[in-house]
Amino acid sequence: MHHPPLIAWLIIFLIGLCLGSFLNVVITRLPVMLMRRWRHEARAALELGDEHAPRFNLATPGSMCPRCETPIAWHDNLPLIGWIKRRGHCAACQKPISIQYPLVEMAAGLLALVVLALHGLTPESLFIYGACLTLLALAVIDFRTQLLPDVLTLPLLWAGLLFQLFFQPFMLSDAVIGVMVGYLSLWSFYWLFKLVTGKEGMGFGDFKLLAALGAWLGWSFLPLVLVLSAGLGAIVGLMAQACSPRLRGAPFPFGPFLALAGWIALLVGDELMALYLSLLI
């Protein structure tokens, strides 16, 4: 396999950091945009009239401190560098800025390097990296808000089917079955859990996320994804409750663990599946 030159690795990493910076905008603003839209639709249905709220989207207003709302200078908004330069504090109010921002940027940069190492500079790698970024955004949004927005999960699903159609047409039927199995498996678990306990064990967004992973991976990888995500979720959940007893009984998002299992299966799934099958046999 031809390995790209060192400068290509550096450029790809920097592009990944920039995309991670944009991903932070999506993560922080998309839930607010959805809440505003739902509120607008509810007021319209109740005939309460429209609220004249300031314009708010992914581009407007510009980047600002989430605490004092002071606009952030361009040189303090450089991916990773700005946060390190200011030591994680706002230049105006000196309040700490969430470590989420550099972590997401670093994760996006490292994912770019991993995809480059595994798939090279190919059209397939662009699709796979796009899926990895979408999973990263969904994981952080679900962790913060317990939302898995359709505006991200459904395009991820269709992109997976397009990936199979363009690059692996022999996998298309497996992917379509994966969508159906992914959705129906968690949908069935949801209703079984609700009938037995009277409680909701997960949200509908989890069904759609697993369906999207089925489109990317095919139906045969879904048991592995469920085992990985359930195992990781159980370990992290038990550790969190042990460290903070107030979390006992609190809702715990499943989406981040589905996304993490999806990354693993998407990037090293064949090797992991071989190991998984060898353990079963």
221 close to 185: Cβ distance less than 8 angstroms: no
- Alpha-carbon distance of 105 to 26, in angstroms, equals 12
Q: What is the average pLDDT across 47-67?
A: 79
Verdict on whether the full-model pTM lies above 0.85: yes
89 in helix, strand or coil?
Answer: strand
pLDDT in tens, 160-202: 999 999 999 999 999 999 999 999 999 998 899 889 888 887 8
| Structure-token match 């401190």, residue found | 65
Residue 117 has pLDDT above 70, yes or no: yes
Instruction: Please tell me the predicted confidence (pLDDT) of residue 247.
Output: 66
DSSP category for residue 64: B
The pair of structure tokens assigned to 278 is: 């060898």
pLDDT in tens, 94-109: 888 889 999 999 999 9
Question: Domains of the chain: which residue ranges?
Answer: 1-121, 150-281
pLDDT in tens, 203-254: 889 999 999 999 999 999 999 899 899 888 888 877 877 777 776 666 788 9
